Structure 1
């Protein structure tokens, strides 16, 4: 059996922990239960960047704990087309694919929404995992056990600059402040609301004028000299917009001239994926 799990970009600047967007770039995951021992292997451009398969096993254990079903031995081969630890949802893709595999293997028959709830509980941030399930632009809400989202279909292409260094998502979360100023909070509220209003009105080009952030990006950027240099070079090109994808280090921007940007590894021009998780028998 084969599934295709899309890359995602989250936050979109001002929409911290709320906005998530699925992209037209997929990890392909082939799996079979015709085995007596779990075996995982990877191919594809970014496979050499993988350090372990611990997250797959963590998801399987979480699924077993929450459902009471035992995940049987499984053979998994994934084609890694999503850059690893780059803010484009490589970890979310593993979580989504592992939950789907566990659901099939155990015959638990959980609904997609139930799988999303498990993914949100495990990952902690709905904007990271929900778009990978449903596609499009997702506006997420989570407060304790209350989880909700709305989805918008978009026809838009975005450019991502992927550097040759990676950042640990958990480390990037730890550097965020416990408190922010009232002024900065209002600034982000205004931008995120205006962004969403433009999306709802079909004014996609105008929406990206409102991605500037004051809540999280500067704290993450300033943690690493390489990240500061990378962002400084992008900003020097005078883009009409830019934002850190997820917790970084990739940058989404409309910069056309990338010459001279240090550490640059890949330039990915990706359309919005409105399909989400794709399942093939």
Structure 2
């Protein structure tokens, strides 16, 4: 296997999953990005792993083979047949960690696409479908991964053992409210009940179908389409300020959801930054239509 000479860069978008009623299925890529650059070190005896991280999470992520981008890269190299002798990786992170904006999906997808680009003919040996399957295997859920890899609005599901997705076009604009404290996905998932009332499941199924229409052709239905009864309220105790903001904005008629497992709050609206609680970050974001992009 031949590695390319010189550095390769990949830009990977943030993503919001669930979007209200589309639990574990819907994802939306957002115009907030992590930038990754890597270079293979192939000098004889050069088995270094050099990692530089700036921006979000820089103080917390490991500088070792346990770094999520490196783990994804090594899984890709193994699938292609060979790991390089050494690797230099630079991460410039803008996606907040532990906030429900798909930082782990961005790292996994970015690592896979980056490793593939570092191999001569890598895109022919590992096509997008196989790369998507690997990303889902590493992440465990397809929703954020699909949006991060392909951009736009995505519907993702598991068919047997195979990860599948459908990409749709949307031109919605968003405002995201990011609280200063993180909430782990594991904790948020642990608050969900094993069963939900049949009427709530039925409502969510209808709202998820309506949401596809609202995001693509009928935005006037977004306030109804973003109603959820199977996950957001159950997680309120782990993110009370987020849930309070969610309720306030929806009462005002602004289509608003908890992004992913939270605690970020996402509204399908602009010009509402002043609604942010003190200490929260606010980003007005468009939909990222490119997905993971080799630069």
C-alpha deviation, 1:245, in angstroms: 0.4
Note if 1:162 corresponds to 2:173. no
C-alpha deviation, 1:68, in angstroms: 4.6
Q: Which residue of 2 aligns with 1:279?
A: 294
Cα 1:183–1:99 change in 2 (3 A) is same
Note if 1:88 corresponds to 2:104. no
Secondary structure in 1 aligned to 2:177? strand
For residues 49 and 252 of structure 1, what CA distance do their matches in structure 2 show? 26
Q: Which residue of 1 aligns with 2:244?
A: 232
Note if 1:243 corresponds to 2:257. yes
8 A contact 2:232–2:258 mirrored in 1: yes
8 A contact 1:96–1:133 mirrored in 2: yes
**Alignment counterpart, residue 117 of structure 2, candidates 104, 109, 130:** 104
Q: Which residue of 2 aligns with 1:41?
A: 52
C-alpha deviation, 1:43, in angstroms: 1.7
C-alpha deviation, 1:196, in angstroms: 1.3
Q: Which residue of 1 aligns with 2:35?
A: 28
Across the two proteins, how many residue pairs are aligned to each other? 275
Choose 139-148 or 258-267, whichever is displaced more.
258-267
Superposition RMSD on alpha carbons, in Å? 2.3
Alignment TM-score, normalising by the size of structure 2:
0.85
Q: Which residue of 2 aligns with 1:173?
A: 189
For residues 59 and 277 of structure 2, what CA distance do their matches in structure 1 show? 20
8 A contact 1:39–1:74 mirrored in 2: yes
8 A contact 2:242–2:264 mirrored in 1: no
Secondary structure in 2 aligned to 1:243? strand
8 A contact 2:245–2:265 mirrored in 1: no
Q: How does 1:67-146 map to 2 (within 5 A)?
A: 68-105=81-118, 107=120, 108=122, 109-146=125-162
For residues 49 and 267 of structure 1, what CA distance do their matches in structure 2 show? 22
C-alpha deviation, 1:31, in angstroms: 1.0
Secondary structure in 2 aligned to 1:9? strand
For residues 228 and 84 of structure 2, what CA distance do their matches in structure 1 show? 42
Choose 109-118 or 67-76, whichever is displaced more.
67-76
Q: How does 1:165-244 map to 2 (within 5 A)?
A: 165-200=181-216, 202-222=217-237, 224=238, 227-237=239-249, 238-240=251-253, 241-244=255-258
C-alpha deviation, 1:277, in angstroms: 1.3
Secondary structure in 2 aligned to 1:33? strand
Alignment TM-score, normalising by the size of structure 1:
0.88
8 A contact 1:70–1:106 mirrored in 2: no
For residues 208 and 23 of structure 1, what CA distance do their matches in structure 2 show? 20
Cα 1:264–1:187 change in 2 (3 A) is farther
